[in-house]
Structure 1
């Protein structure tokens, strides 16, 4: 049975996000922005909800496997030097995605909301661009994690 992946937003926001992720998994991430547009145009709550859903997709399984009293973090490496870096050295949108994901993974919703607020409440064009880059980074992380999980599942089934 062949099912078409929706290319327009669905009535259920979760179905819309799942369709965007499915496009990423099938090699068509360029179809995601049109699906995410209503979340962005919907305002603060829907844009924050999109970020939260993408971050949750990225960290859900890893968070479940963390030992008790552990924290989730992201490792930053300089691709040229191979040395450890800081999220503070990343461009604003990428920095937002990394810090938001880590806060979300650690169930620190207040920090995640503060990061989102700090990015969007300036109302500047730079902030809008950083949010777009951040959402794309959150999306790319979620697709990458889903792809890894899918390949592990397929590999263990053989």
Structure 2
């Protein structure tokens, strides 16, 4: 499997953290455009980032689920209430956090194949959603580090 330069992904995330998500995604575009294997690799790197804090908070072997608040705020809901890109992101990140590569690949194929075949925006939107979640994780890590330095 190809391995894109991790510095590009880190730079893209850093741009997202400072509020320039479009430029961050634009940095990832040439890698993703190389093909499905490269796109999958980028998604895995972003999902690893997005799930890092959760994975570090629990012992190895912990199984994670997708907890979704209901749209009306009355409790939990099915992941199916999420818009497709966010649903993909939640499910893909959970699969990666659970080390379930078979599920992660199946989710990727379900989005990538129609996108390739019919030229839909499904894959770019899915990548954008996973990227957004990874950026939010990075923001939380940066904020936590800033609080610790302020002590």
> TM-score, length-normalised on structure 1?
0.83
Describe the superposition over 1:82-114 as per-residue Cα deviations: whole angstroms up to 9, x where unpaired. 431111232222211110000000000111011
> Which of 128, 138, 142 pairs up with 2:130?
138
Q: List gaps (5 residues or longer) in structure 1.
A: 1-11
Alignment of 1:28-107 (within 5 A): 28-67=20-59, 69-107=61-99
Q: How many residues align?
A: 145
CA shift for structure 1 position 39: 2.1
2:95 and 2:122 map into 1 onto residues whose CA distance is 18
CA RMSD of aligned residues (A): 1.7
Q: Equivalents in 2 of 1:69, 1:26: separation in Å?
A: 33
SS of 1:121's partner is helix
Shift of 1:147: 0.8
C-alpha distance in structure 2 between counterparts of 1:145 and 1:67, whole Å: 19
Q: Can you give the 5+ residue segments of structure 2 that lack an aligned partner in the other structure?
A: none
Corresponding residue of 2:118: 124
Q: CA shift at 1:79, angstroms?
A: 3.7
* Higher RCO (CA < 8 A, seq sep 6+): 2
CA-to-partner distance for each residue in 1:66-86, whole Å, 9 max, x for gaps?
135531223211343343111
Q: Distance in 2 between matches of 1:64 and 1:22?
A: 21
Does the CA-based 8 Å contact 2:53-2:137 persist in structure 1? no
Deviations 1:27-70 (A, max 9, x none): 21121222111122111100001100000011123212213553
